[in-house]
Structure 1
Amino acid sequence: MNTVEAKLKERVKELTCLYEVTSIIVNADYDQIEATLEAIVYCLKRAWQFEEVTEVFLKVGKCTVKTDDYKPTMVCLSSKIKVFNKLEGEVLVGYPSDKYSLDDFLVEEQTLLNNVALDIGNLIERKQIRDSEALTRRQIERADRLHILGEITAGIAHELNTPLANILGFAELLAEKMTDQQAVRDLEKIMDNAIFSREIVKKLMFFACEMPQEMQRVKLIPIVTNVIKLLAPSLRDKKLKLVTTFENEDLELKADTVQLTQVMFNLIMNAIYYSPENGTITVKVLDTESHILLKIADQGDGIPTKLEDKVFEPFFTTKPIGEGTGLGLSVVHGIITSHKGSIEHSKNTPKGTIFTVDFPKLN
């Protein structure tokens, strides 16, 4: 390139590239970031001196785009892409190595590549800021809804407790005076349903944080064993096999016995509900250096991907109407959190779900 005209032509190509890249970024759809990066790649291809053999490769984060004939063996100029001063990727522009060398690149082309890499980094920064703001907004909205829901729930629970206690009490008094066995059986049904309703109210009060905790040192394995004994009829009804693994029979943690029992009951009952007949449920209590892990695995259909984020939301349930309140796992989540623990779910192999509860060990 010796003529002024040729040099001017190259400068025009470089300026055109910068203008086009800026326009692409200004009009970028943050939800279609890969398409934006692909458009930038082809802008770069047109800006190089030997554009007919120029190929471009761009990688940032988990996203990779390149022109059709790019090969790793090419001789390339490169520029790093930084996002918030952290190296997140790079962009390379290359020629075939059998015909070209680094000497065939222009100094101005390296400057252009550095500017484009900087623009790409700024684009990714703005996307991350937008995504972070959206996530924060959703979390605030959810926290606000849960706060309102908690207040409403607490009020409902208090209002229901008194009439339920009256129904149960008067039904018990009538049952003592009745001689007609059919009438006694009918009253027993009333009492059973009142007790069932009262348990739902208790769950509401747990959710609304109205039940005081009584924290003390408790042994975990006996609690798990007692819950399994209580659920033995349900296991038999579905011909389920229960496999238990307890690494340390003497494991202790600081917990509210009633709440811990409720956690175990809900998780194992859920596993029973979603397990197919003749399936296997696995309950493991693992002893690590600083934590106690409880794993409950079933062989059901698993949690659909689109519902994974909703599992612990209050009043969300996949059970048919009348079979679930949607309070079980939200209450479990609240109890475990209040015990400074955590709960998460993952896919079982070959199918099903594993719920893992992580409790800190006693110091």
Structure 2
Amino acid sequence: MSAHVIADDAEALAVAASLAAEFRPGASARDAGRRLPRAELDRMSASGLLAVTVPAGHGGADVGARTLAEIFRLLATADASLAQIPQSHFAYVNVIRRQGTPEQREFFFAELLAGRRFGNAQSEAGTRHVQEIRTRLEPRPDGSYVLTGVKHYSTGALFADWIPVLARTGDDRLHVAYVPSDAPGLTVVDDWDGLGQRTTASGTVRLDGVPVPADRVLPHHLTFEGPQLHGALAQLLHAAIDTGIAAGALAEAAEFVRTKSRPWFESGVETAAEDPLLIQRFGELALCTKAAEALLREAARSVDAAGADLSDDTAAEASVAVAAAKVQAARAAVEVSSALFEVSGTRSAADSLNLHRHWRDARTHTLHDPARWKIQHIGRFVLNGTRPPRHGLL
């Protein structure tokens, strides 16, 4: 596989905008037929977009959080499933940046620059909570490991070259094992049946005695032993996806009203776009969306600032800023995608138009982790100065 190497932030944003324009026309049909976007992901890989956080010293563009968030927002305005697939990819690139040895960084950054993709195998079903990981890395006499477990919600795994797996060793410490997708004992099952995000293929990964060399395992537990931005960056990308869903739904609603809707007879106007009540509602929805976009930019700025001067205080400020962006983005995505039907009228409910994909995507993706806990952490920080906890979901 070969891929273009993006030079800087400006080129990364231009490539993302171009891909979003390319992907937008086919998004509805892909969702309606659950046509998995292999060709589109290959285009994304070949464009170099999936390697933009590779450090400059290894030949990458090393873009910041502001650029990365905008990349995800742009992609999500076109196709929320396509935008979600690489979210874990970048989270696990970040693990390599922070915890990889020089040899691991050299190897995996070269893989990324060649267009290789990371999936994910982290969440498990049937556990007490999301942080309980039962998948195990058992050591072998030669220093390698054997990996055993079952993972769910494995977005991107079906399309990946490498699948990062969260697992614990005998001392219960958390590690990430980077497993090639064709490893013996590894099976990816396309059994995702979510009502939204239908083409993410967020199914099951089974690990039955998968051999893992020692140099493919990274000590993820070290990530959370000091100030960290791992969770903030991962959540920032989720917020960008929700913000993009809101913007995409708003744009499609406006186009529908301008071109297909009829004015209500009591309005006394010639077109639906002149209806003062619809104008009012579009203004409200635009404010909701613009608030999400503004908070997203502010959160990304905070993550970049913390990365330049990392401490407990700057990490806390970044996490709280991202939490605020995530809450507003989730609200905007659900409200705007639902209001699409309110402003567009009865015709918009036709199943053949598939306008409901925006709401289905918003409703599904915003369930990733509860906004109510983010509000708790914001309140504790503002009222009592309590720093948020160190984990990968904040």
Rg larger for: 1
Same-fold call, TM > 0.5?
no
TM-score, scaled to structure 1 = 0.22
With CA pairs under 8 Å and 6+ residues apart, which has the higher RCO, 1 or 2? 2
TM-score, scaled to structure 2 = 0.21
